[in-house]
Amino acid sequence: MIDLFRGEHHYLSNFYILEEPIRYGWMICYTSEHFFAGLKTTDVNMRTWILQAHDPAEAKKRGRAVVLRPDWNDGFDKTAMHLALILKFSAGENLRSKLVNTGAKRLIEGNWWHDNYWGNCTCAKCTDKPGANNLGILLTQVRSLFQQVG
């Protein structure tokens, strides 16, 4: 099991700085957080503002300040994350190999900032609230895809 996307497993984090950027249409992103946050809005000016954030924490913050696209809370958030992960791990052979080499390990985005939607918060307040771990689930799906296609 990998339950913390830090240290040797930091590459699983959306805050990981990519050597090869995600390229999607006119969007060029050096973190999957920039890409994901940019998809939160359909407003090109707001999307550009997010993509120009100097680091992934700022991109995340900016993504929380925009008017969400109408379908965001109807499941598009997971679609956007899935796409971000496919593009992230397609951008370079090294990252793809690292993900595939996690084998069948359970991937859990452990955190302490109360994110029980994308991960599993392990702080004292959240010990009795198991996280949905949607990021870990999507990473596992992407890993399976790459294991199948080689």
Query: What tokens does 26 get?
Result: 């006119």
CATH code: domain of residue 34: 1.10.357.40
pLDDT digits (tens, 9 = 90+) for 9-49: 999 999 999 999 999 999 999 999 999 999 999 999 999 99
Q: Which domain holds residue 49?
A: 7-149
The answer as to whether 78 is a domain residue is yes
Contact criterion met (CB below 8 Å) for 63 and 37: yes
pLDDT digits (tens, 9 = 90+) for 48-82: 999 999 999 999 999 999 999 999 999 999 999 99
The answer as to whether 100 is a domain residue is yes
Identify the burial level of 72 via C-beta atoms within 10 angstroms of its C-beta, where 0-12 means exposed, 13-18 middle and 19 or more buried. middle
Number of domains in the chain: 1
Say how far apart CA 31 and CA 14 lie, in whole Å. Answer: 6
**Please, which residues have CB within 8 angstroms of residue 149's CB and are 6 or more apart in sequence?**
none
Which of 111, 93, 103 lies closest to 3, judged by CA?
Answer: 111
The answer as to whether 47 is a domain residue is yes
Q: Which residue has the tokens 């598009």?
A: 76
The answer as to whether 1 is a domain residue is no
- What global pTM score does this model have? 0.94
Say how far apart CA 60 and CA 84 lie, in whole Å. Answer: 14
Tell whether the model's pLDDT for residue 115 goes beyond 90: yes
